[in-house]
Amino acid sequence: MDIIRTENLEKIYQDNGVPVHALHAVSMNVQKGEFTVIAGPSGSGKTTLLNLIGALDVPTTGKVYFEGEDVGTKSKTQLASLRLHKMGFVFQAYNLIPVLSALENIEFTMMLLQISERERKERAFALMEELGIAELAGKRPNKMSGGQQQRVAVARAIVTNPSLVLADEPTANLDSATGGALLDLMEQMNREKNITFVFSSHDPQVIQRGRRLVLLRDGRIERESHAGS
């Protein structure tokens, strides 16, 4: 079953009045449970494509379908609800809330979902224990390393058991060992919880882990391959 399908996506930005074609006729699908990497050099359109898949941006032309529904037909309120209930996001810059502790950051999405404080804390701490970061519960982001912040960001992304996690260059600010540990964690969540992961990355370590690779160049899909092919 396709969780994501795109049809002829085009994205054109204006740069000082000059049109910049970020994506050209991108059609692809992602099936439930996949561990997919969208790869390519800087400027190839990876982040743009991820933002369109996650309904964080709208295409100039073309369509995005999530679980069979046309995302372009939904209102802003419906899109916000879709992202809140069905998607998790992991960003290169972590995007943790600086005034909140690690535990509170992980709880934040559940608070938006109006889950009770007791259940929020129980679920957040149980996941931190599962991920080996329970000792960070009371720490704020400025007291954590980059790797620790990114693990908290992953916990925040998956604590609501979303159907899809979108990760934009999640290892970009991490050393190879820390990045490898983070990918181990994501693979574990993919296997055990059947969460679909879609990455954008030009990190060879991430690309090697992908069970499916979509290679972008100059805003076009150059090729697609599966692990072992």
Q: Which two tokens stand for residue 36?
A: 């997919």
Nearest by Cα to 32 from 86, 110, 106, 89 = 86
Calculate what percentage of the chain has a pLDDT beyond 90: 57
pLDDT digits (tens, 9 = 90+) for 81-93: 999 889 999 887 7
* pLDDT over 60 (residue 95): yes
Give CATH superfamily name and number for 35-56+76-226.
P-loop containing nucleotide triphosphate hydrolases (3.40.50.300)
Cβ contact 79:55 at 8 Å:
yes
* pLDDT over 70 (residue 55): yes
pLDDT digits (tens, 9 = 90+) for 142-160: 999 888 898 898 889 888 8
* pLDDT over 90 (residue 10): yes
Task: Work out whether strand 35-39 and strand 212-217 pair parallel, antiparallel, or are unpaired.
Answer: parallel
pLDDT digits (tens, 9 = 90+) for 98-156: 999 999 999 998 888 889 999 999 999 988 888 788 999 999 999 998 888 988 988 89
How many Å apart are CA 151 and CA 179, to the nearest integer? Answer: 10
Q: What is the pLDDT of residue 42?
A: 85
Give the global pTM.
Answer: 0.89
How many Å apart are CA 91 and CA 157, to the nearest integer? Answer: 10
Beta strands per DSSP E along 94-217: 164-168, 196-201, 212-217
* Residues composing the chain: 229
pLDDT digits (tens, 9 = 90+) for 20-51: 889 999 999 999 999 999 998 888 999 999 99
Q: What is the pLDDT of residue 100?
A: 94
